[in-house]
Amino acid sequence: MAIEERTISMLVNNQPGVLSRIAGVFSSRGYNIRSLCVAETINPEVSRITLTSRAESDFTEKIKKQLDKLVDIISVTDFTGAPSVQRELMLVSLLLTVENRREVLRAVDLFGCRVVTMSEDHLILEITANKDKTAAILKYFEPFGVEEMNRTGAIAVFRQKREG
């Protein structure tokens, strides 16, 4: 069965233990969670969890139905393949040298990265983009000496109002 990257978003009761149950659904079936984002929604009793996982194409059969069954999960949405906007936030801390400075700054401009701080020999960038783009940007900067990198994992919303 084909393995593909899945983005799943859930509305859950904002309660202790919920995340652990969700993690259990994935781990007990041998799936690895690749990224995870949790935050309260407008209603503080409800949180949204967005996660990505590489899963087989029978994902719906194996995982979504299990998630649907968890008492504290209000809804599960699979964004994979649906028209949606997906973003992740990445912070990259780069070493600046006399040799790379020009090229790095040109790339920062081209990629539309936000400069958080900059000193003689050091630069922190903030990048908001979809996962493919953050990956490409990171790959580009890597040879220049990435000191540290951290990213949030994807969050997503649908592009248009859904039916029903």
Partner 1 sequence: MDTIGADIVVKTLLEEGVEAIFGYPGANTLPLNDRLTGSRIRHYLMRHEQGAAHAADGYARATGKVGVCLSTSGPGATNMVTGIATAYMDSTPMVAITAQVNSDLWGRDAFQETDIIGITMPITKHSFMVRDVNQIASSFRQAFELAGSGRTGPVLVDIPRDILSAPCGDQPKRRPAAPPSKPAGNPEQIERIAQALSRSERPVIIIGGGVKLGNACDRATEFVQTAQVPFVTTMMGIGSVATTNGFNLGFIGTHGNELANRTVHQADFILALGTRFTERSTSRIEEFAPLATVAQIDIDPTSIGKNIRVDLPLVGDIREALAALIPLIVSRERKAWQERIRTDRQTLGEKLIDGGCGQAGTLIRKIQAAMPRETIAVADVGLNQIWTVRTWQSHSPRSLLTSGGMGTMGFSLPAAIGARVGAPDRDVVAICGDGGFHMNIQELATISTYRLPIKIVVINNGHLGMIRQMQDLFYEARFTTSFLGDTVDLTAVAKGFGIQAERVAMDEDPEEAIARMASAPGPYMLEAMVDPNAYVYPIIPPGRSNVEMICGK
Token digits of residue 142: 């890597």
Residue 20 near partner 1 by CB under 8 A: yes
Residue 36 near partner 1 by CB under 8 A: no
Q: How far is the CB of 143 from partner 1 (least distance, A)?
A: 44
Q: How far is the CB of 57 from partner 1 (least distance, A)?
A: 13
- Distance of alpha carbon 146 from alpha carbon 94, whole angstroms: 5
Please list, residue by residue across 75-96, b when 16 or more beta carbons sit within 10 angstroms of its beta carbon and e when fewer do.
ebbbbbeeebebebbbebbbeb
Residue 28 near partner 1 by CB under 8 A: yes
Nearer to partner 1, 19 or 146 (CB): 19
Q: Around 15, how many Cα atoms within 13 Å sit in the side-chain half-sphere? A: 11
Residues 57-76, one symbol each (x = binds partner 1 by CB under 8 A, - = not), give ----x---xx-xxxxx----
Token digits of residue 158: 């649908």
Nearer to partner 1, 21 or 151 (CB): 21
